[in-house]
A and B are shown apart, each in its own frame.
Chain A
Amino acid sequence: MTSQEFKDILYSGVWKQNTGLVQLLGMCPILAVSSSVVNGVSLGLATAIVMALSGAAIAPIRNLVPNEARIPVFILIIAVLVTVIQFAMNAYMYSLYVVLGIFIPLIVTNCIVLARIEAFAAKNPTLQSALDGFAMGLGLTAVLAVLGGIREIFGHGTLLSGIDLVFGDAAKSMVITVVPNYHGFLLAILPPGAFITLGMLIAGKNWLNLRAEQKLKGISATITPVDGGCAPAAH
C-alpha cells in the first residue's frame, strides 16, 4: 500500500465519504446513542473496531466465497466479531455495557458495516480493507462525538458526563460543567434534538465543501440562493 493510497482511504473514510454526514448510513445508532460524548464515542469506537476487523477478515477470503452466498457469510463473520466485542465490553466495562445496551449487538445489523464490506472489502486487498473499515468507523466516531457534545451541552450543560463508566470512579473529576446551574433543555436530549443537530452538522459540512470548492475555482464567496424567490402563499 502506497502512502498516497493510505491517505486517500483515510481521507475518504473520515471526511469525504463520512458515514454520518455524507452516506447517511447507520442512522439508528447515530441518533439513539448520541445523547452524550461518552456514549457516542464508545459506540463509535466499538463500531470502528468491528469494521476494521471484519474488513481484515473478509478481504482475504473474498475470492473463495461464492457470489450467491456472500451476504450470509459476511454477516456471520461480522456477527462473530460483534459478539467478541460485546463479551469484552461486558467483562471490562460493565456499566458502559449496560448504558449502550441493545445497540452493541445491533452493530451487526448496522448497514454501514455490511455496506463497506460489499463496497470495499469484497474487492480490495486485506490491509486496505482493514484501514478502510477503521477510517469509516473513525469518521462515524467523530460525528458521534460532535453530535453527543452539542446535545450534552445544550441538554444538560455538561461535557463528558458518564466518563466514569469507562475509566472508573476516579475519572468523575473529568466531567466538565460548561454552564453552571443550567435548567436543562430536554429537547436536545430527546430524539428531535438528535435529528435537528445532525441536520445542522450536515448543513455545516456542505457549507464547508461549498466554500472549499469556490476557493478552488477562485470565485468570490457570495452564495447565490438556489431556489427562486419564495412567493408567500396568500389566498
Chain B
Amino acid sequence: MFFSPFISKPDSVAQIMLKVILALIPGIALYVWYFGPAILVSITLASITALATEAAMLKLRNRPIGPFLKDNSALLTAWLLALSIPPLAPWWLVVVGTAFAIAIAKQLYGGLGNNPFNPAMVGYAVLIISFPVHMTHWLAPQGLVLAELSFAQQLQYIFSGVLPPSLTLDAISMATPLDTLKTHLHLEESVQQILNMPIYGHLGGQGSEMVALGFLIGGLYLLASRIISWHIPVAYLGSLFIIAAIFHLVDPTHYVAPLFHLFSGAAILGAFFILTDPVSSPTTNKGRLIFAAGAAFLTYMIRVFGGFPDGVAFATLLMNISVPLIVLYTQPKVFGKKGKQS
C-alpha cells in the first residue's frame, strides 16, 4: 500500500554519511590493488580510534552516546584521515591524528554541525607539522621498488617498527609523485625529463592516478545521488585546471601540465569528499564556487611554491576559516525584493 504525497524523504545524516563512505570504496579497492592491503589496517585503526574518542568525548560532554555514534560522521572522518596518511605509518601516528581530529577539531567545537574546520584535515595538518618524516614515507606502487613487504611484514612494521633484516625504509618507500616532481625541479631538471621517471604514469603517478580515478567514480556517484551539488567539485577542479594551464602555457619546462595536477595528490579526493563536507563548507551556491576556487588557487600555490608535498589540506583549512565571510557576502536576494538589499 502506498499513500500520497509521493515525496521522497530526505536522507538522515547517518544515511548520507554512509553513502559518502561507500563512495570511497572504489578508490580504496584500487588502492589495495596497486599498493597492497596495508591501507586497510590504517582505516581499521582510525575507525576504532574515532569511535572510541567520540564515545569518550560525548560521555564527558554529557551527551547521548548511542545516537551520535550511529550517525557515521566519526567513521567518515576516520576514513578520510586514514587515506591521507601513508599506509606504512606507525600505528600511533594514526591514533594520535584521529583522536586529535575527533576530540579537538570536532567535539570541543560542539560536535557534528558545529566544527568550523574539516576534522580530518585538522588531523592531517597536525600530523604533517609534528611528524614530517613519518608522513612522507609513502608506499611505492607494486613493481617499482627493490623489495616488497608481505602483508605480515607490513603489519609487523606498522605495530612494532621492525623491518625484516637487510631492508631499510628507503628500499620499500618513496616520495609521492608531487614531491618527487618538486625535488627534481629544484635540481634544474625539466618537467619532460622528470615525467620519464618510472613512478609517473599517464596522468599522474603510477598507481596513484588509478586511485584518483577510483575516487572520481565515487564522487560521480555522490553527484548522481544528489548528496553533493556540482558547485564545489566543478569549481575546484576547473579552477585548478585553469591555473595550472596558465602556468604550463607560459613555461612548460617548469610547470607541469594541468591534468597532472588534477590526478596527483589529494585533488580528486578533496574536490568530492573533503571540500564538500556540509558542515565546514558554505551553504550558498555562489559561496561554494568562491570557496572551491579559492581552495584550488591555494592548493596550486602550496604545491608549486610551498614547502609541503601537497596543498589540499592547508587550502581546505584556510578556506574553511573564510566560510562565514563568504556566506555573509553571498546571501541570495530575498524573493520579491528589488536590487541589492544586503
Contact = CB atoms under 8 A, between A and B. Distances in A.
Contacts of B10: 234
Contact of B62 (A187, A190, A225, A235): A225
Interface in B56-79: 61-63, 71, 73
A196 B105 CA distance: 11
Contacts of B129: 186-187, 190
B278 A187 contact: no
Given A230-B113, A232-B113, A186 B130 contact: yes
A185 B278 contact: no
B332 interface: no
A187 B126 contact: yes
A234 B114 contact: no
Given A187-B126, A223-B62, A232 B73 contact: yes
Chain A contact residues: over half helix, strand or loop, or mixed? loop
Nearest to A229: B63
B126 to A, nearest CB: 5
Chain B contact residues: over half helix, strand or loop, or mixed? loop
A230 B62 contact: no
A230 B112 contact: yes
B132 to A, nearest CB: 8
Contacts of A185: 96, 130
A223 B60 CA distance: 10
A1 B324 CA distance: 53
Interface string B107-134: 0001111100000000000100111000
A217 interface: no
Contacts of B278: 233-235
Contacts of A223: 62
Interface string A189-211: 01000001000000000000000
22 contacts: A183-B131, A184-B130, A186-B129, A186-B130, A186-B131, A187-B126, A187-B129, A190-B129, A196-B104, A223-B62, A224-B62, A225-B62, A225-B63, A230-B114, A232-B13, A232-B113, A232-B279, A233-B113, A234-B10, A234-B13, A234-B16, A235-B278
Given A225-B61, A225-B63, 5 more contacts: A184-B130, A185-B96, A231-B113, A232-B73, A233-B113
The 3 A-B residue pairs whose C-beta atoms are closest, nearest first, are A232-B113, A186-B130, A187-B130
